Amino acid sequence: MWKYQPFLPLLSKANRISMGEGQTPLVKSRSIGPALGIPDLYFKLENLNPTGSYKDRFASAFVSMMKSRKQDLCIATSSGNTGAALAAYCAAANIRCIITVVDGAPDAKIKQMQVYGASMFMVKDFGKDPELSAEVFSLLNSFALSLDLPLPVSAYCYCPEGMQGVQTIAYEIFEQTANAVRHIFCPAGGGGLTLSLAKGVMEYGHRYQLSGLPRVHCVQPEGNDTMAGPLRNKENVAVQRARSTTAVSGLQVPNVLDGNEVITACRSLGGTGYAVTDTEVFNWHKKMAQQEGIFCEPAGAVALAGLALAVEKGEVADGEQVVCLVTGSGFKDMLTVEKQFSLPALEAIDKAAFAVWIEKMKKGKI
């Protein structure tokens, strides 16, 4: 990630905390793309970052900044992936980490934070109820300010320096596609990732004087549609929801956060919004695993659900190169796997029964 130093906060090499984040693979779809009529569909595998999500880019930039300021305590809030990334990078930097997670954060993500040594709190309805969430956040922010510490939230409205690390996804996509990409589909909760991609596209395009920049599209679950709908409906302001109702973990952010800026940035690039159902997301989640061999968390399938809707609407032209963001590893939300995949229980059988099975296989009876 730090190869893009001209685009990142100016920090000495001694203060950069890096664990190999960035330079994630861009893999061409073998099955789903052709089936959708998009032969040039690619998946950007951010699930292959060190802690399993794109948030490692944010954590690397943010924790490096903390180290440069000689800060030895990180107070954070997270729905899961940001906390896991911060916990890991703080461990590497020898910085104590205290995280307040949203109510209902996947247990696998909580355990991951704890493994890295973070101290944990969960507040009832935090991340679900906007008013309560604002109150909890205000308490955390006041606490951090009293200690003269930043409060890391993966959103531009709070941590623009950290989000510069996330912008490197766009630079990599340009290089990996030789500037040929025409559409980038991105999942959104509070909008930070989508805004990062849009800003990255514009900054990289400006620096290298590129023409025909890709469209960046914002995809959200219908149960948390704060900006995708307004973007599509030619409105300029994101809408705060009374409560997030989507079951897609990590995208349950009913507050606006970067929403207004997302609408402006996507629209300036010719992008639009797509609101998809949870059913569609879980359907593509399973197809990605079983048809492409890509095991992501459900949020990582949201971009593909948006692309499928765009194809249905005739909004992606034949032959255009498309990239879908795969944001996090499937191992972070195994409870959803248990609920959605209907996987059979595996029981041990004796050798005789196994031998019978082998014989049936030989005779083509199974």
Q: What is the structure's pLDDT at 180?
A: 95
Instruction: Give the residue-averaged pLDDT of 74-86.
Output: 91
Does the pLDDT at position 344 exceed 90?
no
For residue range 31-53, what is the model confidence (pLDDT) as tens digits? 999 999 999 999 999 999 999 99
**In the chain, at which residue ranges do the beta strands (DSSP E only) sit?**
26-28, 41-45, 73-78, 96-101, 119-122, 181-187, 215-221, 273-276, 321-326
The confidence band for 191, taking pLDDT boundaries of 50, 70 and 90, is very high
Specify the pTM: 0.93
For residue range 108-151, what is the model confidence (pLDDT) as tens digits? 889 999 999 999 999 998 877 878 888 988 899 899 999 999 88
SS3 at position 305: helix
Q: Residue 357 has which token pair?
A: 């099975």
Edge to edge, what strands does the sheet with 96-101 contain? 73-78, 96-101, 119-122
What gap in Å lies between CA 248 and CA 38, rounded to an integer?
Answer: 26
What gap in Å lies between CA 24 and CA 169, rounded to an integer?
Answer: 9
For residue range 160-182, what is the model confidence (pLDDT) as tens digits? 999 999 999 999 999 999 999 99
**Residue 217, strand partner residues:** 185
The confidence band for 242, taking pLDDT boundaries of 50, 70 and 90, is confident
- What residues contact 98, with CB distance under 8 A and at least 6 apart? 73, 74, 75, 76, 118, 119, 121
Q: What is the structure's pLDDT at 318?
A: 84
Does the pLDDT at position 255 exceed 90?
no
Q: What is the structure's pLDDT at 348?
A: 94
Does the pLDDT at position 366 exceed 80?
no
SS3 at position 33: helix
Which H, E and C letters describe 161-180, residue by residue? HHHHHHCHHHHHHHHHCCCC
CA angle 3, 262, 266 (to 5 degrees): 85
Write b or e for each residue in 155-177: b if 16 or more Cβ atoms lie within 10 A of its Cβ, otherwise e: bbbbbebbbbbbbbbbbbbbebb
Q: What is the structure's pLDDT at 252?
A: 85
Does the pLDDT at position 208 exceed 80?
yes
Cβ atoms of residues 162 and 193 within 8 Å = no
Does the pLDDT at position 276 exceed 90?
yes
Cβ atoms of residues 223 and 255 within 8 Å = no
Q: What letter does residue 254 receive in the DSSP assignment? A: -
The percentage of residues in the chain with a pLDDT greater than 90, rounded to a whole number, is 78
Instruction: Give the residue-averaged pLDDT of 282-298.
Output: 96
Does the pLDDT at position 192 exceed 90?
yes
> Which position has the token pair 């461990």?
91
